[in-house]
């Protein structure tokens, strides 16, 4: 698995749990169709940079942190 995809997937799971949001709530907040976030996590759908930026604003993290760093302090 691509390391970026791995961090992204782990970080999304962590941020969802930390902020107690659902995929549906996040997708509505960043303006993407249902299923998009799951598609990004698995690599099935290409990630849109502008939507990733909205995701980062929502979670108050940088794109670098979201894609290239482990955000969960427990792992």
Contacts of 12 (CB under 8 A, 6+ apart): 37, 40, 41
Residues 6 or more apart in contact with residue 55 via CB below 8 angstroms? 26, 30, 66
- How many of the other CB atoms lie within 10 Å of CB of 59? 21
Residue 1 has pLDDT above 70, yes or no: no
CATH of the domain at 43: 1.10.260.40
Q: Tens of pLDDT along 7-63?
A: 898 999 999 999 999 999 999 999 999 999 999 888 888 889 999 999 999 999 999
Q: Is residue 73 part of a domain?
A: no
Query: How many domains does the chain fold into?
Result: 1
Q: Which residues contact 27 (CB under 8 A, 6 or more apart)?
A: 33, 34, 35, 36, 37
The pLDDT value recorded for residue 4 is: 62
Q: Say yes or no to pLDDT of 69 above 70.
A: yes
pTM of the model: 0.84
Domain that holds residue 8: 3-68
């Amino acid at each position: 698995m691509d390391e970026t995809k791995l961090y992204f997937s782990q970080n999304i799971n962590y941020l969802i749990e930390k902020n107690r949001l659902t995929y549906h709530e996040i997708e509505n907040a960043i303006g993407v169709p249902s299923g998009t976030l799951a598609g990004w996590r698995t690599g099935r759908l290409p990630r849109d940079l502008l939507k990733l930026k909205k995701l980062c604003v929502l979670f108050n993290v940088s794109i670098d942190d979201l894609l290239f760093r482990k955000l969960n302090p427990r792992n």
